[in-house]
Amino acid sequence: MRSRHDDNEAAFAEFVRVRQLALVRFAWLVSGGSYATAEDLVQDALARLYGRWDQVSDPEPYVRTTIVRLNVSRWRSARREVLTALHVDRPVADPELELVESDTGLMRQVLALPKRQRTAVILRYWCDQSTEQIAAALGTSPITVRSNLNRAVQRLRTTWPAADPASTHGRQR
């Protein structure tokens, strides 16, 4: 007879199996295009989810919010940290992430946005979250989120060559 603990572990394992790549893609966007950081963020978020699996009714938003908050914590700690080692990780190819990267015009501009603006844009337009959900994830007010989104969209409109006839939605023909 299966115990409740066995059922929870099986459900958690299935969630990870089905959603892990999508969560890494999300974390890659939020972290500014660092695959190693994205994997670390997802691993930390999933570890936190595992400890609360019984209490979380909808794990996807919980993990995304955790990823965003962990990334914000990395921003804050990075201000005090000086990196000296070379990056030696070799990422595993993810075809869907490569499709996102192939939209070079837009992706280059989104990744160049300041951290808070980039995160707000990703949560709003990639994850289709409301201003209130984004504010809760970032720990700011909805007004600050709207301000960040407005500034980001204005910047993207001036820097992304969407109006260029040679490009279609930022992709070169």
Please give the domain boundaries of the chain with CATH numbers for all domains: 1-90 (no CATH), 103-173 (1.10.10.10)
pTM (2 d.p.): 0.55
% pLDDT > 70, the chain: 73
Strand partners, 167: 172
- CB count within 10 Å of CB 117 equals 21
Query: DSSP H helical segments within 3-58, as ranges?
Result: 4-30, 35-51
Residue type, 17: R
User: Quick check: helix, strand or coil at residue 15?
Assistant: helix
Q: How confident is the model at residue 47 (pLDDT cuts 50, 70, 90)?
A: very high
Under 8 Å between Cβ of 127 and 134? no
Measured distance CA(85)–CA(153) in Å, rounded: 35
Provide the pLDDT for residue 22.
93
Provide the pLDDT for residue 67.
94
Under 8 Å between Cβ of 120 and 134? yes
